[in-house]
Structure 1
């Protein structure tokens, strides 16, 4: 834990020490979300996400932060019988490291937490208990192209439960905690 805190303090100091050198860009990000809730409950369902983003990078070391506020719509398919949409606002906060050839081309890796807040209740009728907010962890990689475009792929791992559901299985009725894991393919345009 001390190493994590020390690393965060060093990063904060770096961001404060070189603010005039930092590259700050605003943009719009959108993409495809392919979600799976639980192997006992659902198959893959497709949705989308879109919203504004902020990208701050220290040019010398390529380290930066990527923050967005995304409207997300994911499908929830339960036992291939009933289907609902989970509509949420999701806020990913990723630490991003970019290795590039000037501002024309770059390759990046990113990781960090994502905080989600449900904004609809339709999907909750499928649950025994449901949570209004949830947390997940992002791991991803991508390309920066022509100063303005970013193409990325993320895997989003559910760290907290969306809720609990009773499902039919070969072993009878089971109570299952539901977590959302998803693949995300994104395209961002930076201004």
Structure 2
């Protein structure tokens, strides 16, 4: 009985110590977006589109086990470059994006650590470009949901650099009009590589 009580006391003390060791940091994050769209229901091809993102972020970590969560609210510019025959268009997508990632960090010393991260991202359109094609507009969705997977490094306890791959879990843009008697709507999905730098205070 004594051993069980001692184990329970140790578990309670450890559970109480974890929040005390937890850290909450605020900072600023920014970087480059490199997007490329794939089309469904059309013969359009896409080239890479380069944009940027920037915004405030927060990170909550438990140093003992290296596990944490980070989130941000970012102004982001991505886009779609499409072409087929004599048609060539470049459309800019402006949005507010909210990534929330579960992050696991492995410390390599007091000044360096590496991390892996993954989680959902929510996007909300901000009057992005539209393209008039036949009788309807090819336009970006008003909201979107995607998944982030990334790796990076933490330097001098304040600086973070990372590479992230964003995978849409739905349509990025869509055309609802009639292309021909054989085909109606088509859509696009944009997958994005991101290179980021963040400074946490």
TM-score by length of 1: 0.82
Partner of 1:163: 173
Number of the residue aligned with 1:6: none
Of 93, 106, 114, 1:107 maps to 114
Q: 2:128, 2:197 → 1: CA distance?
A: 29
- Per-residue CA deviations over 1:77-110 (Å, capped at 9, x if unaligned) read 1217111210000000000000013441000000
Question: How do 1:3-14 and structure 2 match up within 5 A?
Answer: none
Matches of 1:16 and 1:176, distance apart in 2 = 55
Contact 1:15 1:58 in 2 (8 A): no
What SS does structure 2 have at the residue aligned with 1:18?
helix
User: Structure 2 CA distance, aligned partners of 1:41 and 1:187?
Assistant: 31
Matching of residue 153 in structure 1 with residue 163 in structure 2: yes
Bigger Rg over Cα: 2
Q: Select the residue among 45, 56, 66 that pairs with 1:52.
A: 56
- The equivalent residue for 2:31 is 31
Distance 1:59 1:30 in 2: 24
- Please give the root-mean-square deviation of Cα atoms over the aligned residues, in Å: 2.6
Q: Are the counterparts in 1 of residues 95 and 128 from structure 2 also a CA contact under 8 Å? A: no
Task: Give the paired residue count.
Answer: 175
Q: 1:123 aligns with which of 124, 130, 137?
A: 130
Structure 1, gaps ≥5 residues long: 1-13, 167-171
Shift in alpha-carbon separation, 1:27–1:15, aligned structure 2, 3 A: farther
Gaps of 5+ in 2: 1-13, 177-181
1:64 aligns with 2:68: yes
State the shift of 1:177 in Å: 2.3
1:13-60 CA deviation, whole Å, 9 max, x = no partner?
x99973221111101000000001116441111000000000111011
- C-alpha offsets along residues 141-177 of structure 1, whole Å, 9 cap, x if unaligned? 00000111000000000111123238xxxxx967432
Measured at CA, do residues 105 and 180 of structure 1 come closer, stay the same or move farther in structure 2, by a change above 3 Å?
same
Q: Residues 125 and 89 (structure 1 numbering): CA distance in 2 closer, same or farther, change over 3 Å? A: farther
- Separation in 1, partners of 2:199, 2:143: 28
